[in-house]
């Protein structure tokens, strides 16, 4: 089994040794070039100077929100207390050498009661972004919604149901990853991400997946993406691993995704399917699946104190167990509007209509303020 404590201990020791070695030698500033999201939540929105060697970068965001229309059950954090709707993300990274960097990301949520390291990893850029080796804890390379799950980049306040019930929310895991971008055929680009990690454990009620590592089995998988031209990207993901304590039962995930951007317009979608092996006396194996489609349009009005206004719409659908029909089978429609006076502040409003298979429709409203630095 890939042991988290050993990985993190070795990672921190490596960082300290490399920093000490660098101080003994003459430092070198990072050369010009495109800066990617290893260093910032959204480099297109938050403008900072290029990082320099051994000069740590610290960034973060805080989200304050509350529902303004009832209809939220306990699992959806229906409390009207602002503290229960607060989430803070603290990010730190350092470029150790020109081709070696370290990043960590801490999330504090549920009224400051839950602390979770979502990332804590060392990246070695082996060959000009075409081959990068990563060790530590990182977002598992499945689908594309993970790239925008943080409140800074999420255009709505909540996330698509398939990304929190079939895939277990912020799916971070400990292990090894190899990824990169390779020029491919005529003006296209191949993106690859492959990982070996601790893997997932059994599912909870309503088919929701969680993250505990309960055996010695290693999960294998990743994503292949193809950038057909600068505005369109398509991809496919797959992962497999044994999830029970005795390492007898397997759980597989497969997904396809697409993203199109043009000017202020964006449309994205994903389909995820999972097969869960289960003993016959427990009901037998079953499938889970779900999908979402989201579209948005950003306006840049010439209005004082308004940098942009963005309109967002999303439809998602989920079936967490194809053998039964219950409240877990659900369709949702969500619409929202975002107002931003600057890069560092966004006010979001969202209204959502939910249709469960065994209950009447429910309407819900949310408001959120996001500050980033």
Residue 6 counted as domain residue: no
Query: What's the pLDDT at 302?
Result: 81
CATH number of the domain residue 317 falls in: 2.40.160
Residue 284 counted as domain residue: yes
Residue 216 counted as domain residue: yes
**How does pLDDT run across 266-285, given as a tens digit for each residue?**
999 999 999 999 888 888 89
Residue 54 counted as domain residue: yes
Query: What's the pLDDT at 57?
Result: 86
**How does pLDDT run across 5-43, given as a tens digit for each residue?**
454 444 444 444 444 433 333 333 333 333 333 333 443
Residue 113 counted as domain residue: no
pTM of the model: 0.81
Domain that holds residue 309: 44-88+141-168+177-372
Residue 17 counted as domain residue: no
Residue 33 counted as domain residue: no
Cα-flanking dihedrals φ and ψ of residue 15, to 5°? -60, -45
Number of domain units in the chain: 1
CA gap 166, 321 in Å, rounded: 10
Residue 46, burial from CB neighbour count under 10 angstroms (0-12, 13-18, 19+): middle
CA gap 114, 117 in Å, rounded: 10
CA gap 77, 169 in Å, rounded: 15
Residue 268 counted as domain residue: yes
**How does pLDDT run across 203-242, given as a tens digit for each residue?**
654 445 666 677 788 999 999 999 988 899 999 999 999 8
């Amino acid at each position: 089994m890939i042991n988290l404590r050993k990985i993190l201990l070795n990672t921190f020791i490596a960082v300290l040794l490399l920093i000490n070695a660098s101080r003994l030698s003459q430092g070198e500033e990072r050369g010009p070039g495109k800066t990617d999201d290893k260093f910032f939540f959204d480099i297109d929105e938050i403008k900072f100077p290029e990082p320099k060697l051994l000069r740590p970068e610290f960034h973060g965001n805080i989200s304050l929100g509350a529902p303004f229309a009832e209809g939220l059950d306990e699992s959806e954090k229906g409390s009207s207390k602002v503290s229960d709707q607060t989430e803070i993300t603290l990010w730190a990274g350092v470029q150790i050498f020109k081709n070696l960097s370290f990043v960590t990301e801490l999330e504090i949520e549920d009224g400051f009661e839950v602390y979770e390291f979502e990332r804590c990893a060392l990246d070695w850029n082996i060959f000009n972004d075409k081959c990068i080796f990563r060790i530590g804890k990182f977002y598992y390379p499945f689908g594309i919604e993970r790239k925008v799950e943080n409140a800074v980049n999420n255009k709505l306040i909540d996330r698509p149901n398939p990304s929190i019930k079939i895939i277990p929310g912020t799916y971070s895991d400990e292990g090894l990853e190899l990824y990169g971008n390779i020029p491919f055929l005529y003006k296209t680009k191949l993106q690859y991400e492959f990982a070996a990690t601790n893997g997932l454990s059994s599912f909870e009620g309503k088919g929701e997946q969680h993250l505990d590592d309960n055996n010695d089995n290693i999960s294998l998988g990743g994503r292949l993406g193809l950038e057909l031209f600068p505005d369109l990207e398509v991809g496919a993901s797959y992962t497999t691993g044994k999830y029970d304590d005795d390492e007898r039962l397997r759980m597989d995930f497969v997904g396809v995704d697409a993203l199109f951007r043009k000017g202020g317009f964006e449309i994205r979608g994903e389909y995820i399917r999972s097969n869960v092996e289960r003993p016959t006396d427990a009901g037998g194996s079953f499938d889970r699946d779900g999908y979402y489609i989201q579209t948005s349009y950003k306006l840049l009005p010439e209005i004082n104190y308004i940098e942009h206004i963005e309109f967002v719409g999303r439809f998602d659908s989920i079936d967490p167990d194809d053998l039964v029909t219950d409240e877990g089978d659900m369709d949702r429609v969500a619409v929202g509007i975002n107002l931003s006076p600057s890069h560092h502040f966004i006010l979001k409003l969202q209204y959502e209509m939910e249709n469960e298979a065994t209950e009447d429709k429910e309407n819900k409203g949310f408001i959120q303020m996001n500050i980033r630095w």
